[in-house]
Amino acid sequence: MDTDNKEAWGSRVGLVLAMAGNAVGLGNFLRFPAQAMQNGGGAFIIPYLVCFVLMGLPLLYVEWAMGRFGGKSGSHSTPFMFGSMGKSFLWKYVGVMGLFISVGICAYYTYIEAWAISWAYHSAMGHFIGMSQEQVAAFFTNYIALGTSEPVVVWILCVALNTWILSRGLQGGVEVAAKIGMPLLLLFGIVLAVRGATMTAGHHGAVYSGVVGLNYLWTPNFNSIWDPVVWRNAAGQIFFTLSLGMGSIHCYASYVKSKDDIALNAMSAGWMNEFVEVVLGSAIIIPIAVGYLGVDKVVEMTRGGSGFGIGFMTLPYLFTQWGPLLSALSGIMWFGLLFFAGITSSLAMGTPVMAFLEDHFSWKRRSGALAFGLAVLILGIPSVLSQEAFNEFDYWAGTIALVVFSLAEITLFAWVFGMEAGWKEITDGADMKVPVAFKYVIKYVTPVFLLIVFVGSMPDIWATLTKKVTFHVAVARGLMVSLFGGIAWLVYLADKRRAAL
Amino acid sequence: MSPTALTMMLTAWITVTAFTLYFFWKVVKAPPRAEPDSFADNDDLPR
């Protein structure tokens, strides 16, 4: 094997925190509560947890197992990991998606991290104090319309920070970031959740108490359980919240030795993500927003299934109602936790790219990190310049590709590699007894769930493809096709290189 | 808060929190494997 990759995890807790950090993203705080609001309130948790058990956990097991299996042969990224599990040479090129998705998502995701840094700064400096709600929203609109140079400067700094942390390696960079970021994220989340849930009407201008928002969010509409759209949305939420189908879990797990546990680690990281999403995610934006704006307005604002507008355009205004000190602290904590949620995920996306260059082209860690940072900067420019390009990257690289990649990986694992061999990979060295039912769930149930999610998104894919293509959309699509082609070409070169050795 | 909403919320929160703590506790308390294991921090620790 042509690898100079000497990376290793420092500790097991560090690995679990890094995996949890990979899974915990902005969607835990912004998407989950909005989805719950729109899909049956408290009853949403039923299909949501069923999907977690039947799709989320099985895919976690599969990705951890594929990663550790690939690591045995020195492959820490999906192309050659997949190539070692399936006989056809085509699997290597299916694995290209694992790298494509990582770079494609980081191209716009790091920009959102930059917004969080900027908003934490503006909150700390009290810049939102005295503004009306409309002015705060306009401040954001002006920001993303590049009314100032700030977004570009902060974004470049953010990519540089990602690159620097990655260049310090798995143990000295990624793991340290997770060990700092995750506890702070939990601390900030708990403080804000307590504040949101205990807000009382009449104090600091709140019209309703925080409990009103929680009451609306958790009041179950049991009729929704029979609605297939609710199930599809629950499956989609589980899928995206766990960072499945991206290649990052495979990469992190590939540094675990074959005799060491993956089953318990996967459970721990997965449930940690659920804690952040279900407990903290439900107790921040909805109670606070409903407290000031009322239920009807918040339902309207979450109509698209996202709390993004509330998170960036409304909460900073609402925080200012709490007085200068609390407003600054709340802004720092809210945007700080969004930043930590973001950067622990983007670092996970950078790691497979570096591993690929280290494994197959003998690049040094720093060169790999620089190459990743440079690729993100180049590919991210359209997303910074145009919201259309941003949405295009998010749709194809950050949504559709994940589902396609997961369908491919579970087919490879359960049907090509074989479930008997796959089950052995999952249970070898396990520090817990994995229920044998998962063997059948992985083989039969999870692929069906994924198919439902994919087929359910077909009308939307068709509508997107038949929509008028603007210049920015064309550039974004061109870049994504070039990115995929470029990585496939590198895989081809690496394959030649391996054959020559 | 209505009793149904409160029940749903507390059931979900308690279930998720319990599983999270249980699995993390098991990770923390799991005995280390014989060297060479996957983790560098404990390489010099006596077994």
What is the secondary structure of A207-218 as a DSSP string? SS-HHHHHHHHH
Point out the residue among A217, A260, A432 whose CB comes nearest to the CB of B37.
Answer: A260
Model confidence pLDDT, tens digit, residues A220-263: 989 888 888 888 888 888 988 999 999 999 999 999 998 999 99
Q: What is the mean pLDDT of residues A462-470?
A: 93
- Label each residue of A411-479 as H, E or C: HHHHHHHHHHHHHHHHHCCCCCCCCCHHHHHHHHHHHHHHHHHHHHCHHHHHHHHHCCCCHHHHHHHHH
Q: Please answer yes or no on whether A8 and B30 come within 8 Å at the CB atom.
A: no
Letter for the amino acid at A495? D
Closest-CA residue of chain A to B14: A279
pLDDT at A13: 96
Q: Please answer yes or no on whether B23 and A256 come within 8 Å at the CB atom.
A: no
Helices (runs of H) and strands (runs of E) counted in chain B: 1, 0
Model confidence pLDDT, tens digit, residues A49-63: 999 999 999 999 999
Q: Please answer yes or no on whether B4 and A42 come within 8 Å at the CB atom.
A: yes
Question: Measured between CA atoms, how close is B46 to chain A, in angstroms?
Answer: 16
DSSP-derived letter for residue A282 is: G
Whether the CB-CB separation of A29 and A341 falls below 8 Å is answered with yes
pLDDT band at residue B46 using 50, 70 and 90 as cut-offs: low
Mutate which: A17, A216, A218, A222, vs B, most B CBs within 10 A: A218
ipTM of the complex in this document? 0.93
Q: Please answer yes or no on whether A220 and B13 come within 8 Å at the CB atom.
A: no
Point out the residue among A13, A41, A256 whose CB comes nearest to the CB of B38.
Answer: A256
Point out the residue among A12, A255, A271 whose CB comes nearest to the CB of B20.
Answer: A271
Task: Please tell me which residue, A349 or B46, carries the higher pLDDT value.
Answer: A349
pLDDT at A3: 53
pLDDT at A182: 97
Q: What is the mean pLDDT of residues A334-363?
A: 96
pLDDT band at residue A5 using 50, 70 and 90 as cut-offs: low
Q: Please answer yes or no on whether B24 and A9 come within 8 Å at the CB atom.
A: no
Q: What is the mean pLDDT of residues A425-434?
A: 96
Question: Measured between CA atoms, how close is A400 to chain B, in angstroms?
Answer: 28
Q: Please answer yes or no on whether A275 and B20 come within 8 Å at the CB atom.
A: yes
Q: Please answer yes or no on whether B20 and A215 come within 8 Å at the CB atom.
A: no
pLDDT at A218: 93
**What separation in angstroms does the CA of A42 have from each of A45, A100, A195, B5?**
6, 36, 21, 7
pLDDT at A449: 87
Is residue A2's pLDDT more than 70? no
**Residue A90 contacts by C-beta under 8 Å, 6 or more apart in sequence?**
none
What is the secondary structure of A206-275 as a DSSP string? -SS-HHHHHHHHH-B-GGGGG-HHHHHHHHHHHHHHTT-SSSHHHHHHTTS-TTS--HHHHHHHHHHHHI
What is the secondary structure of A46-61 as a DSSP string? HHHHHHIIIIIHHHHH
- Please list the residues that pair with A313 across neighbouring strands: none
CATH architecture for residues A12-500? Orthogonal Bundle (1.10)
Which residues from chain A sit within 8 angstroms of residue B9, using beta carbons? 42, 214, 217-218, 282
- Tokens representing A250 are 């495979």
Task: Please tell me which residue, A139 or B46, carries the higher pLDDT value.
Answer: A139
Whether the CB-CB separation of A91 and A412 falls below 8 Å is answered with yes
Question: Within 13 Å and on the Cβ side, how many CA atoms surround B28?
Answer: 7
Question: Measured between CA atoms, how close is A272 to chain B, in angstroms?
Answer: 5
Model confidence pLDDT, tens digit, residues B6-41: 999 999 999 999 999 999 999 999 998 888 888 988
Q: What are phi and psi of A389, to 5 degrees?
A: -65, -40
Model confidence pLDDT, tens digit, residues A97-114: 999 999 999 999 999 999
Question: Measured between CA atoms, how close is B2 to chain A, in angstroms?
Answer: 7
Q: How far apart are CA A425 and CA A257, in angstroms?
A: 11
Using an 8 Å CB-CB cutoff, list residues of chain B that contact chain A. Answer: 1-2, 4-6, 8-9, 12-13, 15-17, 19-20, 23-24, 26-28, 30, 33, 36-42
Model confidence pLDDT, tens digit, residues A168-224: 999 999 999 999 999 999 999 999 999 999 999 988 889 999 999 999 999 998 988
Q: How far apart are CA A61 and CA A414, in angstroms?
A: 12
Which residues from chain A sit within 8 angstroms of residue B45, using beta carbons? none
Which residues from chain A sit within 8 angstroms of residue B27, using beta carbons? 12-13, 16, 264-265, 268, 431
pLDDT band at residue A160 using 50, 70 and 90 as cut-offs: very high
Q: How far apart are CA A355 and CA A363, in angstroms?
A: 9
pLDDT at A501: 77
Point out the residue among A9, A216, A274 whose CB comes nearest to the CB of B16.
Answer: A274
Q: Please answer yes or no on whether B8 and A12 come within 8 Å at the CB atom.
A: no
Is residue A412's pLDDT more than 90? yes
Point out the residue among A214, A268, A274 whose CB comes nearest to the CB of B9.
Answer: A214
Q: How far apart are CA A219 and CA B9, in angstroms?
A: 9
Mutate which: A186, A271, A276, vs B, most B CBs within 10 A: A271
Mutate which: B24, B25, B29, B45, vs A, most A CBs within 10 A: B24
Question: Within 13 Å and on the Cβ side, how many CA atoms surround A341?
Answer: 31
Q: What is the mean pLDDT of residues A142-153?
A: 94
Would you say the C-alpha torsion A468, A472, A477, A478 has a positive or negative sign?
A: positive
Model confidence pLDDT, tens digit, residues A284-329: 999 999 999 999 999 999 887 788 899 999 999 999 999 999 999 9
pLDDT band at residue A430 using 50, 70 and 90 as cut-offs: very high
Q: In terms of DSSP H, where are the helices of A90-174? A: 90-94, 96-124, 133-144, 150-167, 169
Q: Which has the closest alpha carbon to A63: A473, A426, A443? A: A426
Whether the CB-CB separation of A193 and A284 falls below 8 Å is answered with yes
Q: What is the mean pLDDT of residues A401-412?
A: 95
Q: How far apart are CA A154 and CA A317, in angstroms?
A: 22
Whether the CB-CB separation of A266 and A1 falls below 8 Å is answered with no
Across the A:B interface, residue pairs with CB atoms under 8 Å apart total 106
Mean of pLDDT over chain A: 94
Whether the CB-CB separation of A382 and A475 falls below 8 Å is answered with yes
Taking the domains of chain A in order of start, what are their residue ranges? 12-500
